[in-house]
Structure 1
Amino acid sequence: MEDYDVSGYDIVSKKIKESLGLKRSPVAIKFVLKKEDLPEKIQEIDKAVRHCEMVTRASLGETFYATSEDQSCKGGAAAIGAGEAPEKIKTGEFYYDLGRFSSIGAAKRTLDAIPKIDMDIYATIYAPLEDATFHPDIIVVVGNPAQAMKLSQALVYTLGGRVKADFSGIQSLCADAVAGPFTSKNPNITLGCSGSRKFAGIEDEEVIVGLTGENIGCVVNALDAIS
């Protein structure tokens, strides 16, 4: 079993929440490759739901892990490495049938460009950042545009540059906010998708920011300096 006995994320989360004025917690996400590496103190989620719903539940205080069988949205699960996408999602037919695209070709090109984690993930751990007893691979922040702006300012505070937003209105909390930052090691801002707004309670005025866990200390220091 991997050692998940870490501390300090309660302070990190408090600083982020206070600096940005967030109404819910940043969500810490960690990928587990093997069953034997699951921590004993973290329990499996009580029922199968969508990944975006899991992010919302964690932002409101729950800590749990989910296997691929616990992921009810198979498209979202495939984006984060927790299973294979159904054929109709791979081809774009699913979204074409929903009326989101004018042609199968447009749908397929979009689905091909969506970030995906090319790993066989056994389970994904979700927790409010302040309760994380593990080093997160990804940290998801849900907030309003002004809060996302301030977070963007913190991201460029030390080295400068630009914050890029890469999205298509599909698979936002899975592909855009988790798979994209995990594979590119760059933060990403996404406007959400119909699924996350319908099922996960992402509000009309909210946007999502996906951060990598490796440099969260620099982000917090920058937020302090900007404040």
Structure 2
Amino acid sequence: MSEQDTCGCESGEYYLISQKLIENLGLKRSPVAIKFILDEKDIPEGIPKSDENMRHCEFVFKASSGDIFYATSNEQQCKGGAAALGLMEAPEKIKTGEFYYGLGRFSSVGAARKTMEDIPKIDPIMYALAYAPLEKANFDPDVIVVIGNPAQAMKLSQALVYTMGGRVEADFAGIQSICADSVAGPFLRRRPNITLGCSGSRQYSDIKEDEVVIGLTGENIGCVVNALEKI
């Protein structure tokens, strides 16, 4: 594919984009396409609502195994994650940090609250999120989540700076990792992020001890794949 071809993708091209990512990085899991849906009428055609209630991190891993679906706040079991993703207002104890302080993750409520204030959060305006393995996506993803080992993350980082240079910033705090760090953050800031997972995602989803999570913005994924092939 040419530079022009890969930098802007149509929905039908995501199968090839996904295969290139898997092939060039040696991924064991499919990259996951995620789309934010503002209104019920905007749900991509043919995508069913999830028939299970899960945490967002679990939904990501379910999609990486081949499932396509959307989920509203009602299907999201982790309300802190749902709030970070703009599906609902944050519960008060999440917002104030009391919840994470109670788990023993911080020495004080103040430290927990400051961390919660710094975590990327989308205003609660979303109706749902659509999830799909990238190769099956019939929509343009806002964010693409890649789960891999540190060596694969390194190669992806090299591809991200291949064209324009610069550095890849990793922004995380060990909590709300797959929701805030790898999806809400890239969506809001329009730049990729690498995160190490969190206690919740490592407990409830299938993320392995040697895996990290990379959140990519959807609009330039073709350029990233093009760079991977040239390196």
TM-score range, shorter chain: over 0.9
Question: Is the partner of 1:192 in helix, strand or coil?
Answer: coil
Structure 1 residue 118, shift from structure 2 partner:
1.7
2:202 is equivalent to residue 193 of structure 1: no
Structure 1 residue 47, shift from structure 2 partner:
1.4
Q: 1:45 aligns with which of 43, 46, 50?
A: 50
Which residue identity lines up with residue 96 of structure 1 in the other structure?
A: Y
How many residues are treated as equivalent by the alignment? 222
Task: Find the aligned partners of 2:146 and 2:11 in 1 and give their Cα distance.
Answer: 21
Q: What is the correspondence of 1:151-162 to structure 2 with a 5 Å cutoff?
A: 151-162=156-167
Q: 2:90 aligns with which of 71, 85, 94?
A: 85
1:108 aligns to what?
113
Structure 1 residue 119, shift from structure 2 partner:
4.4
- Segments of structure 1 that go 5 or more residues without pairing to the other structure are none
2:6 aligns to what?
none
Structure 1 residue 10, shift from structure 2 partner:
0.2
Task: Find the aligned partners of 1:215 and 1:40 in 2 and give their Cα distance.
Answer: 24
Question: Is the partner of 2:12 in helix, strand or coil?
Answer: coil
Task: Find the aligned partners of 1:218 and 1:41 in 2 and give their Cα distance.
Answer: 28
2:99 aligns to what?
94
Which residue identity lines up with residue 134 of structure 1 in the other structure?
A: F
1:110-154 deviations in Å (ceiling 9; x for gaps): 000000112410010000000000000000000000000000000
Task: Find the aligned partners of 1:166 and 1:116 in 2 and give their Cα distance.
Answer: 13
Task: Find the aligned partners of 1:53 and 1:162 in 2 and give their Cα distance.
Answer: 30
Q: Let me know the Cα RMSD of the aligned residues.
A: 0.9
Structure 1 residue 75, shift from structure 2 partner:
0.2
1:70 aligns to what?
75
Runs of 4+ off more than 4 Å = none
Structure 1 residue 179, shift from structure 2 partner:
0.5
Q: 2:219 aligns with which of 202, 214, 225?
A: 214
1:84-126 deviations in Å (ceiling 9; x for gaps): 1111000000000000000000000000000011241001000
2:41 aligns to what?
36
Task: Find the aligned partners of 1:49 and 1:157 in 2 and give their Cα distance.
Answer: 37
